[in-house]
Amino acid sequence: MHSQPAIFALGDAAYIYLEFALLPSIEPRTLIETVANIHEPRTTVGGVNFAVGVRPSLWRALAPDATPADARDFDRPYVGPDGFTMPATQCDLWLYLSGATYDIVWESARGAIAALRKVATLATDIDGWSYRHSRDLTGFEDGTENPSLMEAPDVALVAAGEPGEGASILLFQKWRHEETWEALSTQQQELVMGRTKAKSIEFPEDRMPGDSHVSRAKDIVNGEERDIFRRNTPYGNVREFGTVFVGFSAQQSRLDRMLMRMAGIEGGIRDALTRYTTPLTGAYYVIPSITALMRFATETGSG
């Protein structure tokens, strides 16, 4: 099974994220056939990377053998003991386009929207962009604990022989950054993060705050941390801005437990960074293998 290569395509500077809701009159299979027939963004001409994600319950109904075992919809909010809430805004289809320049990504996104117009409504569109190479808009490096590209497939993709082989589970969220963050000193920001701002060096264990982002934004099982593969980007303008969280995992349980730890549902300690950022959306998607997705392509594509 071949995975969707855009998951691992690094170095781009422009990103567009699209979420679609299936029209009431359209069968789910028609939606997947339509997106499977969008050919142009998958070509290397113009340098656009393109990935497709599908609502877990929708994909399972159509392709149960190609669905990861623990995949499920983001069908309920995560609510911490103090009332902090990560909302559930699950849609039916997710498209990810990235490239070196915004114009080519925009053109491909417009083509995809046109191809889907008769089967789905565009519910969300977010433009992402690169900031200081690898930093987010807090000023800190993002994804410092990401596995290398040599290790990333083992982290992000369902292993051979398992249900959903070659697929990935995506957690997709939009987080708005609040102006209260900018009122903190660098030292205060570092305590929130759990690492230094300039060189991204984690604090030693005896200095690490228990509510730091480093401490809470991870999945720990029996004392062992389980990795995910992050592809986050900044979004927004000078008035409203933040981070698009794009996290891939071979198991949804890793992503689920990370959110429970951040919200304080597990362990009772809320991630300090959530006091300066606000989650606006939340959805899970199955990123099928290309092999599984192309089973739905017809001879007369729309690309």
Give the DSSP letter string of 35-78.
HHT--GGGSSTT--EEEEEE-HHHHHHH-GGGS-TT-----S-E
Count other Cβ atoms within 10 Å, centred on residue 103. 11
- Which of 38, 132, 136 has the alpha carbon at shortest distance from 93? 38
Within a domain: 90: yes
Within a domain: 2: no
Q: What is the largest CA-CA distance in the chain?
A: 62
Count other Cβ atoms within 10 Å, centred on residue 4. 24
Residue 164's domain comprises: 12-296
Task: Kindly indicate the confidence band of residue 303, based on its pLDDT and cuts at 50, 70 and 90.
Answer: very low
Cα–Cα separations (whole angstroms), residue 243 to 76, 130, 163, 240, 285? 21, 11, 31, 11, 18
* pTM, entire model: 0.95
Q: How many domains does the chain have?
A: 1
Q: Which residues pair with 85 in a beta bridge?
A: 79
Within a domain: 5: no
Within a domain: 66: yes
Q: Look at strands 224-226 and 229-230 and give their pairing.
A: unpaired
**pLDDT tens by residue, 209-258:** 999 999 999 887 877 888 999 999 999 999 999 999 999 999 999 999 99
What tokens appear for 234 in the block? 């900044």
Specify the pLDDT at position 116. Answer: 98
CB 245 within 8 A of CB 171: yes
The predicted model gives 159-178 an average pLDDT of 97
CB 283 within 8 A of CB 89: yes
Specify the pLDDT at position 137. Answer: 97
Specify the pLDDT at position 302. Answer: 43
CA distance 233 to 107: 20
Element (H, E) at 293: helix 290-293
CB 171 within 8 A of CB 255: yes
pLDDT at 276 over 70: yes
Task: Kindly indicate the confidence band of residue 39, based on its pLDDT and cuts at 50, 70 and 90.
Answer: confident
Within a domain: 20: yes
Specify the pLDDT at position 42. Answer: 52
**pLDDT tens by residue, 74-94:** 999 999 999 999 999 999 999
Within a domain: 167: yes
CA distance 177 to 232: 14
CB 292 within 8 A of CB 115: no
CA distance 247 to 158: 14
What tokens appear for 250 in the block? 């071979």
The predicted model gives 27-55 an average pLDDT of 85
CA distance 3 to 288: 7
Within a domain: 301: no
Within a domain: 38: yes
Rounded to the nearest 5 percent, the helix, strand and coil shares of the chain are 30, 25, 45
